[in-house]
Amino acid sequence: MNRYNRRDFVKFMGAVAATTPLTWANTATAASGKVVVVGGGFGGATCANYLTRWGSGIEVTLVEKESQFITCPFSNEVIGGDAELDSITHSYDGLIARGINVVTDVASGIDTAGKKVNLSNGDALDYDMLVVSPGISFKWGEVENDEEATKEAMPHAWQAGLQTTLLRDQIQAMADGGTVVIVPPTKPFRCPPGPYERASLIAHYLKNNKPKSKILIVDSNESHSKQAAFQEGWNALYGYGPEGMIEWVKGSEGGQVESVDMANMTVTSAFGETYKGDVINLIPHQTANNLVHESGLTNQDGWCSVDQGTFESAASKDVFVIGDACVAGAMPKSGHSAASQAKNCAAVIISRLAGVEPPAPTYANTCYSLISPEYGISVAAVYQLQEEGITKVSGGVSPVEQSERVHSKEAKYAKAWYKSITSDMFS
């Protein structure tokens, strides 16, 4: 990955702002039609919001099973004891105030032929255009004895809420000198830096409260996001390696987990190594949400193929899939990616309903990670649509050997990013 500094980052993110659909839609475009959006997260909420910001006359309905949205970004701070769940919990009141019909229910099925979304209460919503941003489901059973029941004994905390506080409470109840085992899923999965940020912020808690403890990352993957920057931070703050607080075991060296034992709180690798934890954060392998599987929108790999210029489903006309569930070229499965895709998708739908040409698509992603509350790192990228799909054209990861001042600023940027993107989604 290319290295970048803050000046470079501001420069190329400014270039994105100059060409984003935001500048295309300085005034609302007159259009008419019914758009249903399924999923109220970074993709769905942003898309619903911008359909009303940029489109005039469109009837927008957002279907979301929860009455509030709890973000996975910054949930690791809750797990590490540095924030409360309320700080990452957001209301849909701002979207309702925009005139969006927010339906709190489960989308039980999609009738693409009849252009209807079926709800668990028996109702159905008609649509002219449908946006599906349902997120992920877990592939229970990919690891032997990996059943849904394991989420109580070995919480994944990969869907924020009760799982977040369960993992936090288990860590806080652990005796000093205990071991936390983190098992990341195989790629692709939601938020590639997430397991490693989680290890960092748990280490921050343990260092200050249970300094004899250990974190073991037993990883099926051979490498991980921001690896050099994470490992430099771990070494500086907590000690990294067999003698440090954090140790990472890659797949080919014993990290490929094949089975779990809830009764004995162990995980066992393909090479026969068994790792015992006082707390085990078992993050299951992932696929697109069950809704899109059952609706025939997934490919043979379990994800949703789309036209990467419009995000229209390859399987069904007038159905658009954004966020973690879709295949979006080089873009990672992140909240920022989902929001970027959502704005492109909103511009395409408004243009189609208005009978005008949509703007050229633009894409960006930024992922911040905290190694401690005051030590941040990041990765950022700008993408373009090319013949082979969405391709990275600029960006990079935080370089190593930076000063404490730089990492302190990165931590502040992370908090500012979170405030900005959630405000953009919900207000």
Could you tell me the CATH number of the domain that includes residue 239?
3.50.50.60
Same domain, yes or no: 119 and 166:
no
Same domain, yes or no: 300 and 188:
no
Same domain, yes or no: 260 and 294:
no
Same domain, yes or no: 155 and 274:
yes
Q: Check whether 204 has a pLDDT greater than 60.
A: yes
Spatial contact of 303 and 327, defined as CB atoms under 8 Å apart: yes
Q: Which pLDDT value is given to residue 14?
A: 42
Same domain, yes or no: 53 and 127:
yes
Same domain, yes or no: 44 and 115:
yes
Q: To 5 degrees, how large is the angle CA 386–CA 390–CA 392?
A: 95
Instruction: Please state, in angstroms and rounded to a whole number, the distance separating the CA atoms of residues 347 and 51.
Output: 8
What is the number of domains present in the chain? 2
Same domain, yes or no: 262 and 201:
yes
- Last-in-domain residue among 225, 251, 282: 282
In a domain, 393, yes or no: no
Range of the domain at 45: 20-65+105-135+289-360+416-426
Q: Which pLDDT value is given to residue 30?
A: 82
- Last-in-domain residue among 257, 282, 307: 282
Instruction: Please state, in angstroms and rounded to a whole number, the distance separating the CA atoms of residues 68 and 162.
Output: 13
DSSP E strand boundaries for 1-144: 29-38, 55-64, 68-70, 89-91, 101-104, 107-111, 116-119, 124-126, 129-132, 136-138
Residues of the chain above pLDDT 90, percent: 91
Q: Which pLDDT value is given to residue 348?
A: 97
In a domain, 97, yes or no: no
Same domain, yes or no: 109 and 159:
no
Band (pLDDT 50/70/90 cuts) for residue 31 is confident
Spatial contact of 354 and 373, defined as CB atoms under 8 Å apart: no
Q: Which pLDDT value is given to residue 26?
A: 56
Band (pLDDT 50/70/90 cuts) for residue 287 is very high
In a domain, 48, yes or no: yes
Same domain, yes or no: 295 and 322:
yes
Helix ranges, 59-161 (H): 75-79, 93-97, 150-153
Across 124-135, average pLDDT = 98
Same domain, yes or no: 216 and 178:
yes
**From 125-134, 277-286, 353-362, the region with the lowest mean pLDDT:** 353-362
Same domain, yes or no: 207 and 157:
yes
Same domain, yes or no: 266 and 163:
yes
**Both structure tokens of 370:** 């905290």
